[in-house]
Chains A and B, each alone.
Chain A
């Protein structure tokens, strides 16, 4: 699968996220606008309420002025007709109210220039009418009632009153007009509020739709990518299974090959060894003959014949013997490895500390002889694996460490183990002669050895160890510096299951 996985799955995560964040932000902004519009609209309607109250106050004040003037007129007329003191007192009472009422109107209408003009005119007209009234009242008080009535009849008082009434009506009208204007404004603002509200609603609705669509598409993309991921995993699994089958087959093939080779190589070897033995016994007979001939008739025994019987033949036989014995050991090693590959492994819990102590005990004579100690660093984690296999691995590694010490340095071999997840890494560290870096891989090959060849062995041990490590589902490697010691690192699964190990071929 050469293409990058995320690209293949086609999820545009970044874009979708940006769009969603944008939508939500815009939605909140729209809500804020709606709230601001509501607040503004409420403020406007409160304002309008105040103005309505103001209008009614003005109207009330105007009515009070009007009432005071009308009432004072009525009472004055009563006084003019009857001339009784009661009327006069009443008139004075009522007339006194006109001034304050007008002042109230003036105070309420300070902001309106037209009303102020009205008020100014009213003031003039009222002052005029009050002066006139006071004149007629003074006439009555002076006892000239006739003159007062005449003056009343002649006076333009009715016209003046009409003017005042008209002005007052104009003032009321003006207020009504303003109220109507303000009503209109309120209506407009309410309409605007509803407009904003509707606009926001539409915007929110559209945003919700877009967000929903995005989320849906994103979810669909996700599920598509999940499906393709699953398909990918399935393919991968199949691939792994295929490869594992191939590997098992190849491994079986090698095992079978090794078995056949080692078996068929033995057959001629038996001949070589057998006829060498025949040759050996024949040589004895010939040597015997030469000996006797030398005694009986020395002249018939040539120097060549004597040398052949006494030196050449035994030497040749000796070389054939040692070579065939070596070949036999090598074939046996291959056979052992191939048999090891066929052995059915049975996982069981293994106490590694006890196992190392057992190995230490079995190597006692060797360690005492070579001044070496075997120690466990801390405590080794337990493992579930094939007991025989892991014991062979450790005894091979430890025995190697004891065998290949640096001369003149007491051997110190340390075994330690750490558990990481589902695997355990064991280390066998020594301070021996070490392995050159070029040989780190080579030492694990069959029949290959490293360094000075002063110890018996065929170069089988580490090949065997590596084969066993693979069988147990593990790996082994070495880190070492020549002359300073070596550390073998064995990594194994904590729990060995059938699938971990490379399956052996059918037993033959």
Chain B
């Protein structure tokens, strides 16, 4: 990513174990950016929109989003991000267990940038996350407007 230090990764994932495994495997791919983890939608939204360290106030970010959250649906968060002018260019990677095609279409319609299904087999899962890490290392993230 543009500047390894400046782009932060916001991970919204309710399962602590998954979050830890995702982080480990991303790190193994050589991504050293700061990763901020949230286990529910409400605090994640609060961070994204109003926190002074959050992407809306402070610098570019990339969002890793799980769709099955305890307090709200991931698609709601996606819709909110994509309808907020300060955040709409922020890349969102949906990373979830659902492989339903209607759900996938809906996410892309809402403006999701990448949709990845979590493989159930651990080896494939680790592999997929590492590949995602490699992918993240080369994509360009737009700067916040005016910065």
Contacts and interface: CB of A to CB of B under 8 A. Distances in A.
Interface stretch (B15-23, B39-47, B48-56, B72-80): B15-23
A274 B15 CA distance: 13
A81 B120 CA distance: 170
Interface in B1-48: 15, 17-18, 21, 24
Given A274-B122, A274-B125, A277-B126, A267 B21 contact: no
B97 A277 contact: no
B71 interface: no
A270 B24 contact: no
A267 B15 contact: yes
A269 B17 contact: no
A350 interface: no
Interface in A29-46: none
Given A269-B120, A270-B125, A263 B97 contact: yes
A266 B126 contact: no
Given A267-B97, A275-B21, A276-B122, 17 more contacts: A266-B97, A267-B18, A267-B68, A268-B17, A270-B21, A270-B120, A271-B17, A273-B121, A273-B125, A274-B17, A274-B126, A277-B126, A278-B21, A278-B24, A328-B121, A508-B100, A508-B102
Nearest to B119: A270
B130 interface: no
A494 B111 CA distance: 50
B123 interface: yes
Interface string A259-285: 000010011111101111110000000
Contacts of B123: 277
A278 B24 CA distance: 10
A274 B21 contact: yes
Nearest to A263: B97
B66 to A, nearest CB: 10
A273 B119 CA distance: 12
Contacts of A508: 100, 102
B65 to A, nearest CB: 16
B89 interface: no
B120 A271 contact: no
B118 A270 contact: yes
A275 to B, nearest CB: 7
Q: Which 7 A-B pairs have the closest CB atoms?
A: A271-B17, A273-B122, A274-B21, A274-B122, A266-B120, A277-B122, A508-B100
A386 B118 CA distance: 32
10 contacts: A267-B97, A268-B17, A270-B120, A270-B125, A271-B21, A274-B18, A274-B125, A274-B126, A276-B122, A508-B100
A505 to B, nearest CB: 13
B108 to A, nearest CB: 18
Interface string B88-100: 0000000001101
A271 B15 contact: yes
Contacts of A270: 17-18, 21, 118, 120, 122, 125
A352 to B, nearest CB: 34
Interface in A149-172: none
Interface string B58-75: 000000000010000000
A266 B24 CA distance: 20
Interface in B109-147: 118, 120-123, 125-126
A496 B15 CA distance: 45
Nearest to B16: A271
B9 to A, nearest CB: 19
Nearest to A321: B122
A273 B122 CA distance: 6
Contacts of B97: 263, 266-267
Interface in A161-212: none
Contact of A271 (B18, B121, B126): B18
A263 B120 CA distance: 10
Nearest to A266: B120
A271 B100 CA distance: 22
Contacts of A277: 122-123, 126
A268 B125 CA distance: 13
Contacts of B15: 267-268, 271
A263 B118 CA distance: 11
A300 B118 CA distance: 44
Contacts of A328: 120-121
